[in-house]
Amino acid sequence: MPDPGPSPLQSSLPGAAASFTARVLADAAAHVHAVPQGLAEARGLPAETGPEAPTGAPAGPPTVLPSGPAAGISSGASAGIPTVPVRVPAGPSRGLPVDVPAGAGAGGAVGVLAGGSGAAPAAPRRIAPDPGWVLRGPQGLGTAGLSLAPRADAPALPAEPPASADALIIPGLYWHPVPEPDPVRVEEVGLRIKSWALDEVQLYPEDWEGDFDGFHVGRYMVACHPDAPTIDHLMVATRLMVAENAVDDCYCEDLGGSPVGLGGRLLLAHTALDPLYSTAEYQPAWAESLHADAPRRAYRSAMEYFVRQATPSQADRFRHDMARLHLGYLAEAAWDETNHVPEVWEYLAMRQFNNFRPCPTITDTVGGYELPADLHAQPGMQRVLALAGNASTIVNDLYSYTKELASPGRHMNLPVVLADRESLSEKDAYLKAVEVHNDLMRDFEAASAELAAACPVPSVLRFLRGVAVWVDGNHYWHQTNTYRYSLPDFW
């Protein structure tokens, strides 16, 4: 895989980085080039070599980037894929150098992109991306140690934007503002996802259209994946998000869901992600079943698009995380059937499975690069992903609190469990849930910074920052989605 390049603009890591000593971070920076060299030697691969990056690039016509998947990521035929012009102006080098094979274009923040006519590429040349179009890494107090480029070379960055005037503000909640999502991308993703939902998978009846539009999934996914190189990459995440919500709503929640028989429904739906291999006699019946209802149609189609963009290991990673999600659904359903209110720690254990983890875990696929399977599997990375999913899911508990209380039946969320198990008032339980979220967020940031210092491989650093960006984007969507959410009157 190519060098993943610089990371996205915003990040949740500032506070965590400040907690590490300068000695540890300086040591990590000193060894950043030795780590990839050692990994290459361990695998018997040649270490990367090449000339020094030039101090500038001559002015000229835009470099054209193919908008297909990143090199090393499988895809279908690339004929007819549109191109995106990116101008590389003259000026001093202020970013990380990127290898650009002749005829393939440069990916800037996403590395080298596959494309061209299939002819053998010429020898690579190295250019310096202009800071105007390269997505940047973490910024703010305490982030110097997370950027392994000299700080003197980094351009000045704008201040973090404040929350919009109509945003829902939870007093005391720990969160980071994000730049407003690109409105052009938001609109395009919104148009494409609605066309997919209606025309390709017949996802919802006409009277559900208002709720579908009010979900604002285009703004959600653009905020969570600002480094996606193309709309096609964004659509991979968007289809999966919509499909996952269809399964949750129609199988588990108020739009026809029930805990009774949920295991059978989830297992059959999961075969749309992890296909059945059976005999010739029974395989056709299974294939036909994938079109039986909207959740399975959505899973099947979204997964087909995903595997075209992802590597086999990325697809298997996603299947594993979806199995985790479905296991969490079943635990909550079992408690619902028996009218059991879990202990707080039991609820948090369930929420580590029934949570957003499948969404940030695909940040590399959506970004057009790959975090290698062995680096993804290391315990430190697994801890980071678990904490990211846990914190993001408690955000959902907090913002959806009044929505769930107004829905039929009893909905289990952290404030409800805290009130029951710790004999707290509704207000005190809600405020304690805010504290739990804040502790999870700080643990996530500390774990991310620790792993960044211990394993400063470029793909690891970019993946960590991509996960942090997803966490921030997820909060942004909850905070600004006033169609779906409102806050309790506790202040």
CB 121 within 8 A of CB 102: yes
pLDDT score of 20 more than 70: no
Give the C-alpha separation, 345 to 347, whole Å: 5
Q: Which residues contact 210 (CB under 8 A, 6 or more apart)?
A: none
Mean pLDDT of the region 429-454? 98
Mean pLDDT of the region 369-381? 98
Q: Residue 257: its pLDDT value, please? A: 73
Q: Residue 125: its pLDDT value, please? A: 35
Mean pLDDT of the region 2-16? 48
184-238 pLDDT tens trace: 999 999 999 999 999 999 999 888 899 999 999 999 999 999 999 999 999 999 9
Phi, psi of 63 (to 5 degrees): -80, 135
Sign of the alpha-carbon dihedral angle for 398, 399, 401, 407 = negative
pLDDT score of 277 more than 50: yes
Question: What's the alpha-carbon Rg for the chain, to the nearest Å?
Answer: 23
Between 10-14, 87-91, 386-390, the lowest mean confidence (pLDDT) is in: 87-91
pLDDT score of 97 more than 90: no
When pLDDT is cut at 50, 70 and 90, the band that residue 392 belongs to is: very high
CA-angle at 463, arms to 459 and 464, nearest 5°: 120
64-84 pLDDT tens trace: 333 333 333 333 333 333 333
User: What average pLDDT does the structure give for the chain?
Assistant: 76
When pLDDT is cut at 50, 70 and 90, the band that residue 488 belongs to is: very high
Mean pLDDT of the region 3-21? 46
CA nearest neighbour of 360 among 245, 224, 457: 224
Q: Read out DSSP for 175-222?
A: ----PPP-HHHHHHHHHHHHHIIIIIS--S-GGGHHHHHHT-HHHHHH
